[in-house]
Structures are given as C-alpha cells and as structure tokens.
Amino acid sequence: MLNKLESLLATTHIELSQEQKQLLVDYVDMLNKWNKAYNLTSVRDPEQMLVRHIMDSIVVNPFLQGTRFIDVGTGPGLPGIPLAIVRPDSHFTLLDSLGKRVRFLRQVQHELGLVNIEPVQSRVEEFIPQPPFDGVISRAFASLQDMLSWCNHLPKPNEGRFYALKGVLPEDELAQLPTGIVLDKAVPLQVAELGEQRHLVILKSN
C-alpha cells in the first residue's frame, strides 16, 4: 500500500514525509477494516481508496487559505482527515450528524494520534462555530445553493471561503449563486488514475 501511494504521489507535485505517508496508509487500513461493519464508503478496494479518497482529497491542499477549517458532512473523514495529515499546522473540525461515523473518526483520532482534528456530531445548521472558520469544505455534499444556505454562519464574515469539491463543473449552480456570494475561482483538478473530472469551486463574499 505504501508503494502504491508513493507511485500515485510521484505523478503530482505533492511532497510528504514518510510519517505522513504512513499515516495516510494507516487511515486507509482503518477505513477498510471498519467499512466491513459500518458501511462507511462504497469503495471496497483499499488501493481504490488511495485513489478515490486520499489523492482526491489532498489535491485541494495548495488552494486552501488559512488554518482553521470545517469539513461539513465529513462522512468517514473525507477530505478532512487526509488534509489534516498533509497540513499538520491547520486545524480541522469534522462535522457529521451520524453517530457511527463520528465514533469511527474518534477512533482514527486516537489510533493515529491526530491532534489537529476535532470530530463533532451535529447537524450543520445547528452547529455554532467559536470562532468562525477560515474555510468551509465539502465533498460530495449537496448543491452549492444548499451548502451556502446551511453553512452561511460558519465562515469568518467577509474573509472566509467556501470550498466545494465537485466532479463536473456545476455551471448551472454557479449561474444561480445568491446575492453577496461570488466565485473566487474554479480549479480543474488532476487525480492520478481517476478517469473522471474533478473541480474545486471556491466561493467568497463580495
């Protein structure tokens, strides 16, 4: 698995320490093990998890601004846990409403010794951030409109960003952004061995 991860990383500009690589592999091992009982992801093959979950998450790292982030609807910790591993000086709140997922996240936090994550069980609209976040991240979440509606209380006023990890660029959603929100940038992402489109949509207040 470590060799597979290193071959995937070799196709990118991402440079990680051996410790970071090992943590990513250990996380996939835990995800694979818990998945059999908890059904945390539809991806069953650990090597595919490296492509579809690890690489798919960490490619957005260069585009994040700030040090305090919230991953809304994190599920089994995606993209929050891979990003926390590659970005040790940032802090990630991992928010999910389902208890079994949050139990898994707490076990990952404990076993991998990740001090820069905080798993929280809550519905996003009921979660009160103290203080607000530099960035609100979502992957495989709802439409941009729903994300903005449910999460508008989470970022720092006028400074915070919304980061939506998308497949095909959602042109129709971008054409209907609410008043006060503008597109900062839309970045096409290259994920090794993933034959599908990926985009990072970054939104901000205007």
Residue by residue, pLDDT tens for the chain (206 residues) are 999 999 999 999 999 999 999 999 999 999 999 999 999 999 999 999 999 999 999 999 999 999 999 999 999 999 999 999 999 999 999 999 999 999 999 999 999 999 999 999 999 999 999 999 999 999 977 899 999 999 999 999 999 999 999 999 999 999 999 999 999 999 999 999 999 999 999 999 98
Output the CATH code of domain 1-205: 3.40.50.150
pTM score, whole prediction? 0.97
Retrieve residue 138's tokens.
């979502």
Tell whether residue 78 is among the known ligand binding residues: yes
Calpha distance 11→51 (Å, rounded): 12
Is residue 169 a contact partner of residue 150, using CB atoms and an 8 Å limit? no
What's the rounded Cα separation, in Å, for the pair 139 and 107? 21
On whether 73 is known to bind a ligand per the annotation, the reply is yes
| Pick from 138, 143, 121, 111: nearest CA to 29 | 111
Pairing of strands 135-139, 161-166: parallel
Q: Known binder of ligand: residue 43?
A: no
Query: Residue 106, annotated ligand binder?
Result: no
- Helix runs in 64-170, H state only: 80-86, 99-112, 144-151
Q: Which helix (H) or strand (E) holds 173?
A: helix 171-174
